[in-house]
């Protein structure tokens, strides 16, 4: 187990995704059920990062409630791990299948081929619930945002980025584009993190203030038709209805303050490639941003740090220092204080146009009892069903 964790910690990809692994020097087994992690420096956030998949040498081993039995043709078979430290899961076997569309997954759910469908689109939620199927929606640690390329002339100005953040009516966005299933967002930090300071005043919708900021930043309306201040192109993945709705709504709202946001719709693989290559002015997407502070750090850490995901080029020394406190500190007060300060730093120098936290909706057969308020994958070991077999699907 120690070897598996050491391999995972030293995996280059994990290094980019888990900000505390840099500080891990080695992992040793110190007893039958204990591991000793040697650190180069204090790293209080390490436990949060240990929720990772371990490359276990033996298939009968596991550190979670389930162990991987097989993974083939898009179907993952899991079996419960009876030695799970929080207790043996009720459901013996879990099968995860992928379906090309929600319609296919939903039909399978209604046929009884599967027992739950994950990631139900917000627009379909009201039509899926029935006497046999319950629908559970939870706020998801992903948010819709427009990330700016800070190497671009326009977006080097924090005033411009603040102005754009002030120009968006997020509640209208949530209502129109997300069918009311979301939470307005004004920063990259997960608002349900224990250290999040909810007293920090977020952006309000103030298009007049936005226009004033742009005027002050030397970006007045240029006259003509249309009477725009500036224009930029936003990269969007095509074929995502919700993303397109968000894009159109934001486009209209920015249009109102004289900002012409054009779109470049590309397939998902090109979308990722262009981002990593830095070939964009702005990017609209549904980005992971929690539940740990390490997640936004992936994108908004200093561009000087090695890695692929800080491709947006954001640079803020104070933010970098505060991220470091959040990563290393083991003092609760210090972490809370750093989190609040970081929230303010991101308000003053927003790295992106933060829009809305999205909801993740799960359709689940009423034969099951699942705990409320917890991500379904995290709580799967607590689910209950009569025959102890579960088939799940993800469209």
Binding of residue 128 to other proteins (CB under 8 A): yes
Gap between the Cα atoms of 193 and 332, Å rounded: 13
Q: How would DSSP label each residue in 209-275? A: HHHHHHHHTT-----SSS--SEEEEEEEETT-HHHHHHHHHHHHHHHHTTEEEEEEEE-HHHHHHHH
Q: What is the DSSP letter of 233?
A: E
Q: Whose Cβ is closer to other proteins: residue 134's or residue 217's?
A: 134
Contacts of 124 (CB under 8 A, 6+ apart): 102, 106
Q: Is 255 near other proteins (CB under 8 A)?
A: yes
Q: What is the DSSP letter of 31?
A: S
Given the rule CB under 8 A, which of 34-42, 131-139, 323-331, 336-344 is the region that contacts other proteins? Answer: 131-139
Compare residues 24 and 250 and give the one whose CB is closer to other proteins: 250
Please name the residues in contact with 224: beta carbons below 8 A apart, sequence gap of 6 or more.
none
The torsion region of residue 258 among left (phi > 0), alpha (psi -120 to 50) and beta comes to: left
Task: Quote the least distance from Cβ 387 to other proteins, whole Å.
Answer: 21
Q: Contact between 272 and other proteins (CB under 8 A)?
A: no
Stretch near other proteins under the rule CB under 8 A, chosen from 88-96, 106-114, 160-168, 320-328: 106-114
> Could you tell me whether strands 133-148 and 116-118 are parallel, antiparallel, or unpaired per DSSP bridges?
unpaired
Nearest to 76, CA basis, from 89, 65, 67, 87: 67
Cα–chain center distance at 140: 7
- Considering only residues 101, 269, 317, 372, which one is a binding residue for other proteins as defined by CB under 8 A? 101
Which residue stretch of 126-134, 314-322, 325-333, 335-343 sits at the interface with other proteins (rule: CB under 8 A)? 126-134
d(CA 350, CA 187): 7
Please identify which residue in the block is written with the tokens 């993740």.
360
Per CB under 8 A, 263 contacts other proteins: yes
Does residue 230 interact with other proteins by CB under 8 A?
A: no
Q: Which stretch binds other proteins (CB under 8 A): 7-15, 237-245, 306-314, 327-335?
A: 237-245
Is residue 368 involved in binding other proteins (CB under 8 A)? no
- Please report whether residue 248 would count as binding other proteins according to CB under 8 A: yes
224 part of the interface to other proteins, by CB under 8 A: no
> Measured from the CB atom, is 81 or 106 closer to other proteins?
106
Which residues contribute to the site for other proteins (CB under 8 A)? 100-103, 106-107, 110-111, 120-121, 123-124, 126-133, 176, 226, 236, 238-239, 241, 244, 247-249, 251-252, 255, 263, 265
């Amino acid at each position: 187990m120690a070897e598996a964790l050491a391999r995972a910690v030293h995996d280059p990809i994990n290094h980019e995704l888990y900000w505390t692994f840099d500080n891990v020097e080695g992992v040793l087994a110190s007893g039958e059920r204990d591991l000793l992690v040697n650190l180069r420096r204090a790293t209080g956030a390490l436990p949060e990062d240990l929720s990772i998949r371990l490359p276990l040498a033996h298939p009968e081993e596991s550190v979670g409630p389930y162990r991987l039995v097989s993974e083939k043709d898009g179907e993952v078979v899991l079996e419960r791990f009876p030695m799970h430290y929080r207790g043996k899961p009720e459901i013996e076997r879990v099968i995860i299948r992928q379906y090309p569309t929600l319609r296919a997954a939903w039909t399978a759910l209604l046929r009884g081929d599967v027992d739950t469908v994950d990631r139900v689109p917000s627009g379909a939620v009201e039509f899926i619930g029935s006497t046999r199927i319950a629908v559970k929606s939870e706020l998801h640690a992903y948010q819709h945002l427009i990330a700016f390329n800070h190497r671009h002339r326009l977006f080097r100005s924090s005033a411009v980025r603040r102005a754009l953040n002030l120009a968006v009516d997020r509640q209208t966005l949530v209502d129109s584009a997300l069918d009311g299933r979301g939470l307005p967002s004004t920063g990259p930090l997960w608002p349900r993190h224990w250290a999040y300071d909810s007293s920090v005043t977020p952006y309000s919708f103030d298009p007049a203030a936005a226009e004033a900021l742009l005027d002050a930043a030397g970006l007045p309306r240029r006259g003509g038709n249309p009477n725009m201040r500036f224009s930029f192109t936003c990269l969007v993945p095509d074929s995502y209805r919700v993303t397109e709705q968000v894009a159109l709504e934001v486009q209209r709202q920015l249009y109102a303050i004289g900002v012409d946001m054009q779109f470049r719709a590309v397939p998902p693989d090109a979308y990722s490639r262009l981002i990593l290559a830095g070939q964009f002015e702005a990017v609209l997407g549904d980005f992971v941003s929690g539940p740990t502070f390490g997640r936004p750090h992936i994108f908004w850490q200093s561009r000087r740090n090695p890695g692929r995901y800080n491709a947006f080029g954001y640079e803020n020394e104070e933010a970098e220092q505060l991220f470091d406190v959040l990563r290393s500190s083991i003092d609760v007060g210090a972490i809370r204080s750093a989190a609040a300060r970081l929230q303010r730093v991101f308000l003053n120098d927003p790295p992106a146009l933060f829009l809305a936290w999205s909801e993740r909706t799960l359709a689940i057969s009423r034969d099951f009892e699942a705990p409320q308020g917890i991500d379904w994958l995290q709580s799967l070991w607590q689910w209950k069903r009569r025959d102890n077999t579960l088939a799940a699907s993800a469209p």
